[in-house]
A and B are shown apart, each in its own frame.
Chain A
Amino acid sequence: MSAMIEVAGLRVVLPPAVAAVDGIDLVVQPGEFVVILGRSGAGKTTFLRTINRLVEPTAGVVRVAGRAVTGADAAGLRAARRQIGMVFQQFNLVRRASVLDNVLAGRLGYVPALPSLLGRFPAADRARALECLSQVGLAHLAGRRADTLSGGEQQRVAIARALAQAPAVILADEPTASLDPALTADIMGLLRTINTERGLTLVVSQHQLQTALAYATRVVGLRRGRVAFDGPPAAVTPVVADAIYGETR
């Protein structure tokens, strides 16, 4: 089977001259649950955001599910993004819109453009959005305004939005950093279910070591924009943890 995510020679230099990602090569196979570990500022967020080009890389190649992400034109990039769901630390829901409308946004890459601009979605897409909402256990809140939900519920809605894209990959950028420990287990458990039952490939960034080890099938440690460790969770020894997190080089 061919690789799901291929990253080669990736560099991102943010103005004025900070190398947030400083030469990353990474191949992720279908069905992996990869947790990206690292201190804040290690480049986790920037790395994830270059995979769907929310951040434009300075150099390097990204391919996802056989499609070129780097070098793609506008239409090609949209087609690539469609198969990459993304979940954010701050949930990033449209606060004033209903829960269902937020999930329907996940269908935007599929539905006819003009009716969608008028707020109309085909019945099949509405059904699909509702189905994704029930998968995260929130079908009963479909009509509520997004900002009336709790943090944990909002993150579930965001996951439903990503699922509505029928993606091959889900990227999650610190999805539990704004949540308490119980909700962290809740959201990570939901992501694991998606990984095992749907076979979706997951790349999740985490700054908490214990959470990472509990859910990952593979751990990638970033330090100063480079891969400092890449292996199974069992191989993350105190020495390895120190290489990722330690104060000294």
Chain B
Amino acid sequence: MRRAALFVGLVIFGWLLWDTGADPVRFVRGVPWMLEFLRRMLPPDVQVLPSALAGALITVEIALLGTAVAATLALPLGFVSARNVAPPRVFYPARAVLNLFRSVDTLVYALIFVAAVGLGPFPGVLAVVAYTTTSLAKLYSEAIEGIDPGPVDAVTATGATRLQILRYGVLPQVLPLFLSYVLYRLETNIRAATVLGFVGAGGIGFYLQTYLRMIDYPAASTALLVTIVMVMAIDALSSRLRARLV
């Protein structure tokens, strides 16, 4: 049994190597080109720093606005897709819709929204909202399903309404988790937003792609360095905040 599984695994692995054209020799031959690429990127062109910073600012704005809107929209969705709060006839369709929308990545949403509303940061914001709303709703609903039922019983026993039970029995238990998830999503959305510019949805990615197309490698390396610093700074800030929450 175990041998058969190992054999099947090896066959699949071999087929994957063959079908993707994976070739170690080709990789080794490419190494000098990569080094040449790196050499051409140095030193970074400081003249484009202002536009790279402006682009980075737009990227942060896209992620911030998109995450904030999504965090709010996800609230009702999170409650209706939590098994222990929503009745089954609401829960099952809600979960299905969430899984459907979550299977499409932010970048694909960006392509759709650029086609719909035109170039610029706005389709980027829409793309972040579309993906983040459903992914946060899923995380919210899982937090809700993990609560201690005791306080919910206690609030129910006071004669509270369904909404009051959610507000006083459920929400205080899940709110810190929700905030932590939102910050985590903000971190990943900053990263996602850097590539949104590649498809015309604004931000630092737009500059990076333009410089690469113009074969202006020193300028591209400035944009890349700004991106790295920006992502690291936001990550550090956000994980500090998260550590204080839970």
Chain A residues packing against B (C-beta within 8 Å): 52, 54, 78-86, 88, 90-97, 101, 105-109, 113, 116-117, 119, 158, 161, 165
Contact = CB atoms under 8 A, between A and B. Distances in A.
Contacts of A90: 150
Contact of A94 (B151, B164, B176): B151
B159 A81 contact: yes
Give the secondary structure class of B's interface.
helix
Interface string B86-127: 000000000000000000000000000000000000000000
A151 to B, nearest CB: 14
A220 to B, nearest CB: 21
B143 to A, nearest CB: 13
Contact of A116 (B164, B173, B176): B164
Nearest to B160: A108
6 contacts: A52-B157, A94-B168, A105-B155, A108-B158, A108-B160, A165-B159
Nearest to A108: B160
A117 B165 CA distance: 10
A54 B151 contact: no
A78 B168 contact: no
A52 to B, nearest CB: 6
A116 B158 contact: no
B177 to A, nearest CB: 11
A88 B163 contact: no
A101 B173 CA distance: 13
Contacts of B158: 81-82, 105-109, 161, 165
B157 A117 contact: no
Contacts of B157: 52, 54, 81, 84-86
Nearest to B163: A117
Nearest to A104: B168
Interface in B139-174: 148, 150-151, 153-161, 163-164, 167-169, 172-173
B151 A117 contact: no
A79 B173 contact: no
Contacts of B150: 88, 90-92
Interface residues of B, number: 21
A156 to B, nearest CB: 14
A246 B153 CA distance: 32
B154 A86 contact: yes
A93 B154 contact: yes
Given A96-B176, A106-B158, A108-B164, 8 more contacts: A54-B156, A81-B157, A88-B153, A94-B155, A94-B168, A96-B175, A108-B161, A117-B164
Contacts of A84: 157
Contact of A108 (B153, B155, B175, B176): B155
B92 to A, nearest CB: 20
B69 to A, nearest CB: 21
Contact of A105 (B148, B160, B176): B160
Contacts of A52: 157
A106 B169 CA distance: 12
Interface in B179-199: none
Nearest to A84: B157
Contacts of B151: 92-95
A109 B163 contact: no
B153 A92 contact: yes
A107 to B, nearest CB: 8
A97 B159 contact: no
A97 to B, nearest CB: 5
Contacts of B159: 78-83, 108-109, 165
A116 B157 CA distance: 17
A106 B160 CA distance: 9
Nearest to A116: B164
Contact of A88 (B154, B169, B172, B175): B154
B154 A161 contact: yes
Contacts of A116: 164, 167
A79 B161 CA distance: 10
Contacts of B156: 54, 81
Nearest to B161: A113
A54 to B, nearest CB: 6
A109 B159 CA distance: 5
Nearest to A97: B172
B168 A109 contact: no
Contacts of A79: 159
A157 to B, nearest CB: 11
A106 B157 CA distance: 9
